[in-house]
Amino acid sequence: MHLSEIWIYPVKSLGGIRLKEAVVEEKGLRYDRRWMVVDEAGKFITQRSHPTMALIATAIGASELMLFDREDPNDSVSVPLDVEDSGAEILAQVWKDTVQVKVLSDDVNAWLSGKLGQNVRLVSMHEHTNRTMNPQDAIAGARLSFADDFPYLLTTEASLEDLNGRLETPASMSRFRPNFVISGSRPFQEDEWNFINIGNLQFTVSKPCERCVLINVDQSRGVRGVEPLKTLASYRKENRKIIFGQNLIAQNYGMIKEGDQVEICS
């Protein structure tokens, strides 16, 4: 088996970036979900309620994160990668967590507000942002980005092929927003793994990923339908939870590259 794709999503629920190599860190891949869009009350928003967020693409430059309209790439705005250069601090809510974040510039927030049709702000993690994982899922104090529950998400090409064989219109892997895509496995073989090596790094395969309506958003059009969640629910439901993919925790840190060998350790 091999690592066939690596993805980061710098801003939670905006467009992703495919990488040839990436740095594995405690909170997730470097730059993955280190920014987030919040409403006027400081509560996070996602494609679950705003599917058009899929139409805002992202790119990483030498010193800046760029946001741009996928249909008009010249319509763009940029923010510094150094989050310490950001603005005022506020408290923001992501799921049940309230965390201290920094607010980006008025220009950035005005651009995003125009795209999403309501007043929003872009916020970033900084050195004092302390969001920790559920202690039932990880060692107490383990830190997390703005990702839902875990720092890493893995899917496999074979599992998507199995699902697409049951759909009238095939779904792309982009709907599932993984960090790692694995080739060469059996369909849903990832359900059996406890530990894996990707290149020289080891990961704990911690918990299946519970799926929601977000996977019904067509990432190329920013429109939500009823599939593939409906079909997935017909054969991948466990304890009332619809499962696709596995959540991971890194046991050591360093560089991974597309094409790295993947080995099952248990």
Q: What is the pLDDT of residue 187?
A: 98
Residue 78 tokens read as: 């940029």
Q: What is the pLDDT of residue 85?
A: 61
Is 49 inside a domain boundary? Answer: yes
User: How does pLDDT run along the chain (266 residues), one tens digit per residue?
Assistant: 999 999 999 999 999 999 999 999 999 999 999 999 999 999 999 999 999 999 999 999 999 999 999 999 999 999 999 876 667 899 999 999 999 999 999 999 999 999 999 999 999 998 778 899 988 888 888 999 999 999 999 999 999 999 999 999 999 999 999 999 999 999 999 999 999 999 999 999 999 999 999 999 999 999 999 999 999 999 999 989 999 999 999 999 999 999 999 999 96
CA–CA dist 237, 212 (Å, integer): 12
Core vs surface per residue 179-198: b (16+ CB within 10 A) or e: bbbbeebeebebeebeebeb
C-beta of residue 38 within 8 angstroms of C-beta of residue 123: yes
Beta-carbon neighbour count of residue 237 at 10 Å? 12
Of residues 205, 198, 178, 195, the one with CA closest to residue 253:
198
CA–CA dist 214, 229 (Å, integer): 9
CA 105 to chain centre: 24
Is 102 inside a domain boundary? Answer: yes
- Domain assignment of residue 101, given as a range: 34-124
Helix (H) or strand (E) holding 106: helix 106-116
Q: What is the pLDDT of residue 208?
A: 97
Give residues with Cβ within 8 angstroms of 137, minimum separation 6.
Answer: 149, 150, 206, 207, 249
Q: How many domains does the chain have?
A: 1
Is 42 inside a domain boundary? Answer: yes
Is 4 inside a domain boundary? Answer: no
C-beta of residue 164 within 8 angstroms of C-beta of residue 171: yes
Q: What is the pLDDT of residue 139?
A: 83
For 29, what's the count of Cα atoms within 13 Å in the CB-facing half-sphere? 23
Q: What is the pLDDT of residue 266?
A: 67
Q: What is the pLDDT of residue 129?
A: 86
CA–CA dist 234, 229 (Å, integer): 9
C-alpha distances in Å from residue 24, one per residue of 80, 125, 138, 179, 256: 21, 17, 17, 11, 7
CA–CA dist 119, 173 (Å, integer): 31
Residue 125 tokens read as: 């993690």
Is 72 inside a domain boundary? Answer: yes
Is 212 inside a domain boundary? Answer: no
Is 258 inside a domain boundary? Answer: no
Is 3 inside a domain boundary? Answer: no
**What is this structure's pTM?**
0.96
Q: What is the pLDDT of residue 126?
A: 82
**Cis peptide bond prior to 151, omega within 30° of 0:** no
Q: What is the pLDDT of residue 161?
A: 98
